[in-house]
Amino acid sequence: MLYGSLNYHETAAGHQFSAAPVGVGYFFNDNMNVGINYGFNNAYTKALDFTDHSHEVGPFYSNTWPLGEHFMLIGQVDAHYIWGDQHVVNASGGMVDGSYNGFLFRVYPLVGIDLGKGWALKAKVAELSYKKKHGKDAVIPDDHEVITGINGSTVGLGLSKNLFF
């Protein structure tokens, strides 16, 4: 299976380009697959002259439950290594660069529509995740983030293609 979502968003405040994430997996039976996925996010905020280039890569496990002939419910778990760099304003108002790394654990449900010939449209409808970030430089503090529920940051739409061998 190949899947993914590419996103571009631009406003007067800045822009963002990301893959959230793209992946390749192998079905080891009709409903379960494992694989690896990669995501990135390049964000720029004009007002602060702030840039963030982040990456994530790691394995995933997914299970699919058919809901009739054309619909499916999917549960997915991701375990990722994260890294990135930021261009930020420090406490004295100067611009400095820093980098970070850490991990991300994410679990989420998706609803899928079978489009035929191995194609499916999938919508992520919620998320529960934990991200731990460790700043490699003093300018980027250690941080953690919990995302839960249904909101704009947890909803997504993507496309997948099953390849039959």
| Model pLDDT for residues 66-92, shown as the tens digit of each residue | 999 999 999 999 999 999 998 877 667
pLDDT at 3 over 80: yes
78, 50 in Cβ contact below 8 A? no
Please state the pTM of the whole predicted model.
Answer: 0.83
Say what the pLDDT of residue 26 is. Answer: 94
Task: Give per-residue pLDDT as tens, 8-20.
Answer: 889 898 999 998 7
Say what the pLDDT of residue 156 is. Answer: 76
Q: What is the mean pLDDT of the chain?
A: 88
What is the CATH topology of the domain spanning 2-161? Lipocalin (2.40.128)
Say what the pLDDT of residue 91 is. Answer: 66
144, 132 in Cβ contact below 8 A? yes
pLDDT at 146 over 80: yes
Q: Cα Rg for the chain, rounded, in angstroms? A: 18
Which residues does residue 8 pair with via DSSP β-bridges, in sequence order? 17
